[in-house]
């Protein structure tokens, strides 16, 4: 965590802004919408910003500082990414999606800079009371790193939040990332959102705090 | 007499404008998450014809109040809701 003091110092300020501003956990929001996501968890720190071009495509920027890599080989990746809504099922009482997110840029680590590329498939299904998602992501960064990672989430909402209410979700996230020191990690978390601001906080089985936020504007 | 006629015309025209404000209700599939549905509000509020918009997750409805004398046709409403990520199952209109 202390490797990015400037970033960490900025988090409270951004959170304050986030909590005061009218902010999607999905890779595509609405046409002309901008989405900023920031994640801090046992895998490292991520920031991404995406602009939705049309109902199926968004473009943006992805930066991730990977931590807790096996052998201390932490690294970062940065580059533009392209998000695609492969399919959406709008159901009377639910919504299901399959997304792809792919990007290419540079990786920095071990004193080297190399080209990098990544791609992921994310599937989710949610109702007003139940949430589930699964993501598989591949990262190739030449001699710096090459890995495949999986993440699954399930969640329940204790009440059906209305459009103008604060929504609360209790979730469990399971990560399987063979390139990390701790391969299998479970993170119970709570998610709150109100209008365009989403905040998540949790604590992982390998004793790391999770603090994520999304803004949509 | 002429003045009365002009005044009556103005009053009728004014009432006619108020009467032309429409309330349109769209039934929408996929409306489960308020965080995602804020895109509907933002998208519709960019339309000059829109006065107010209400999103009702419980009844899966989006209600649009237009400004006096203005309207949004069904094709535009459907396109805006698709751009927001949702599917439209029906549109009804009431004054």
Q: Do B29 and A26 touch (CB under 8 A)?
A: no
- Enumerate residues 6+ apart whose C-beta is below 8 A from A171: A131, A153, A154, A155, A156, A188, A189, A190, A191, A200, A202
Tokens at residue B80, please? Answer: 């805006």
**Confidence class of residue A2 from pLDDT cuts 50, 70 and 90?**
very low
Tokens at residue A21, please? Answer: 């501003």
Q: Do A162 and B43 touch (CB under 8 A)?
A: no
Alpha helices in chain A (DSSP H): 5-20
- Enumerate residues 6+ apart whose C-beta is below 8 A from A12: none
Q: Do A162 and B34 touch (CB under 8 A)?
A: yes
CA A199 – CA A135 distance, rounded (Å): 20
Rg of chain A over Cα atoms, rounded to whole angstroms, equals: 17
Residue in B29, B33, B38 closest to A92 by CB: B29
Domain ranges in chain B are 21-94
Instruction: Lowest mean pLDDT of A23-37, A56-70, A108-122, name the range.
Output: A23-37
Q: Do B85 and A196 touch (CB under 8 A)?
A: no
* Spatial contact of A189 and A173, defined as CB atoms under 8 Å apart: yes
Please report, for chain B, how many H helices and E strands are present, in that order: 3, 4
Side-chain half-sphere CA neighbours of B30 within 13 A: 18
pLDDT, tens only, B43-77: 999 999 999 999 999 999 999 999 999 999 999 99
Q: Which residues of A touch B (CB under 8 A)?
A: 22-26, 28-33, 54-55, 88-95, 126-128, 160-165, 167, 193-196, 198, 214, 216-217
Side-chain half-sphere CA neighbours of A93 within 13 A: 4
User: Residue range A64-90: average pLDDT?
Assistant: 95
How far, rounded to the nearest angstrom, does the alpha carbon of residue A45 sit from its chain's CA centroid? 10
DSSP string, B31-77: ---HHHHHHHHHHHHTSTTEEEEEEETTTTEEEEEEPTT----HHHH
User: Residue range A156-160: average pLDDT?
Assistant: 96
pLDDT, tens only, B4-39: 666 666 555 554 545 577 899 999 999 998 888 889
CA B40 – CA B45 distance, rounded (Å): 8
The ipTM assigned to this model is: 0.78
Q: How many CB pairs under 8 A join A and B?
A: 88
What CATH class does B21-94 carry? Answer: alpha beta
| Structural domains of chain A, ranges and CATH numbers in brackets | 5-216 (2.40.160)
């Amino acid at each position: 965590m202390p490797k990015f003091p400037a970033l960490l110092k900025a988090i409270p300020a951004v959170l304050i802004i986030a909590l005061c501003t009218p902010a999607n956990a999905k890779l595509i929001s609405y046409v002309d919408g901008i989405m900023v996501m920031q994640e801090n968890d046992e895998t490292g720190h991520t920031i991404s910003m995406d602009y939705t071009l049309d109902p199926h495509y968004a473009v943006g920027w992805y930066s991730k500082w990977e931590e807790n890599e096996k052998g201390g080989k932490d690294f970062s990746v940065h580059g533009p990414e392209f998000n695609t809504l492969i399919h959406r099922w709008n159901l009377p009482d639910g919504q299901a999606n399959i997304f792809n997110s792919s990007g290419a840029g540079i990786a920095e680590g071990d004193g080297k800079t190399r080209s990098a590329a990544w791609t992921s498939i994310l599937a989710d299904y949610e109702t007003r009371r139940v949430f589930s998602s699964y993501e598989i992501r591949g990262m190739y960064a030449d001699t710096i790193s090459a890995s495949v990672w999986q993440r699954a989430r399930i969640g329940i909402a204790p009440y059906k939040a209305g459009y103008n209410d604060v929504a609360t979700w209790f979730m469990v996230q399971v990560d399987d990332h063979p390139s990390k020191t701790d391969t299998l990690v479970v993170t119970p978390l709570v998610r709150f959102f109100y209008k365009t601001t989403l905040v998540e906080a949790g604590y992982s089985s390998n004793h790391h705090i999770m603090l994520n936020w999304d803004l949509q504007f | 007499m002429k003045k009365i006629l002009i005044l009556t015309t103005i009053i009728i025209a004014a009432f006619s404008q108020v009467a032309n404000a429409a309330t349109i209700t769209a039934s929408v599939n996929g409306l489960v998450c308020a965080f995602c549905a804020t895109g509907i509000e933002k998208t519709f509020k960019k339309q000059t014809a829109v006065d107010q918009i209400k999103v009702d997750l419980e009844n899966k409805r989006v209600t649009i109040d237009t400004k006096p004398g203005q309207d949004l046709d069904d094709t535009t409403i459907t396109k805006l809701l698709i751009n927001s990520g949702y599917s439209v199952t029906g549109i009804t209109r009431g004054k």
